[in-house]
Structure 1
Amino acid sequence: MSFEGVLGIVQYVMNLVGILAFALSGAFLGVRKDFDVFGVVMLAEAVGLGGGVFRDLVIGVRPVAFSDPGYFCAPIVGGLVVFHSARLQHHARAFDLFDAAALGLFSVTGATKAFAYGLNPEAATTLGFATAVGGGIVSSVLAMELPPLLRADRDLYALPALVGAGGVAVLHHFQLLNEWTAPAAAALAFGLRVLALRRNWRTSRSRFWRNPFAGMRHVPEPPRPEADLGHMEDSDHHTVLLRRPRTGQLPPPHHLPRTTQPRPGRTTPR
């Protein structure tokens, strides 16, 4: 099959499945945030269509989400299914698999469409990556959460998208992109994401930021100035000097003010 055949049949099916899978994960995020039915459906639409709309706007064509009813209705169906299915809401791990599947599918379809419109390999890889992660970023912002792409405590997220989009670029360079190799690239990205979820694979972080004083000499703390002296008066109008404590502790007992009990030999005034 020709390259146009890949774009016409395989890409449409992969796009539709990816939109539905992303919509399910976005709807689950809305349910977890206790959104109403409109909020859940809106979040499903955002995560399902956000990456594709961004891709089409960069390419300079009308977004398919506004020209194909199937693309627009798939997130609505996915959002309503998650909202009304209590049994499905208890399987949080399944939504990670939906998200991983959509990540792999969108990374491939985004890069494939970029090549169809004449973009170079670097631009196509970047656009495929943006298509895969764009919807998740939009939904996280709407739900007031840090996107998983930017979180160091989440498993590999950006790397599988880069593998899927980069795999399409390699296949296109060697003229091997067809109806069989395109789904294989998506499966590779999906498999990497699933392995990262199961084995907790994560990207490295900067050691210097986690320990900002590593390798630096310890600078001794400068001596503290003498604490100011305060004063207070007891009940017999005798001034008592107090030294303000440095660490929040009470002053020594001999510095405490005397009690208000009368002195021996004196009578208590009436």
Structure 2
Amino acid sequence: MYFQDLNNPEIIKKIKQLSQGKSGVYKITNLQNSKSYVGSAITKKATSNRLYARFRNHFFHHHKDFLLKRAIKKYGINSFSWEILEWTEIPSTRSRETWFIQNLFPEYNILLSAENSFGYSHTLETREKMKAGYSESRRQAVGLLNKGKKLSPEVRKKLSQAAFNRTAQQKQQHQKIMEEWNQKMFSKPTQILDGDTREILGRYSSLREACRVFQGNYRTFKRTVKSGKKIRCLNIYVEYSS
């Protein structure tokens, strides 16, 4: 499903009708420079239309995605296209969005994953490092997608296979980047206090590290940080360091 002339009431009506009750991954493309944005919407009821709501939010209600919002303001609504890349089942929607983001590398997206990454912005340096591992054939295929052209199942299969065939150096580089990302995203300095005296027993770089050292349950530790209550079985308090 691909549309241009997005300010046209008939086009808007058709987008609404075709999206009713469906979940899927969409792409917005700037027709002036081929830059794009990938997003998704999950619709749980046949009477709901989250995809259409996302469409409206992006183009008419000043959506929070800063880079895309700024581009729409600069170029105008009719300089963009709206495309459904894939209709999805609810459980797979986020993972499919992530797949498209990591294979199309849309310039208006700040996050490189739709899963477990809310609120984290990648630096330009990190994004360039991620791009560095792309093969020339992959760049060409991505270019076709960014121009609104569909890839055949055979090409998609080759892209997936190419991801598995990266060199050891590329895999190591990718792993390092993702480790840095996870550390920045999820790590907060944590300290463990004695349950009786509240004396500091140890300081750790993250809640998970503290959890491993004290052989505790991560969810229990996380709940304790929020509630401020003692973990009685370990006789400790857990809190984030200032």
When the two structures are superposed, what TM-score results if normalisation uses the length of structure 2?
A: 0.31
When the two structures are superposed, what TM-score results if normalisation uses the length of structure 1?
A: 0.29
Greater radius of gyration (CA): 1
More strand by share: 2
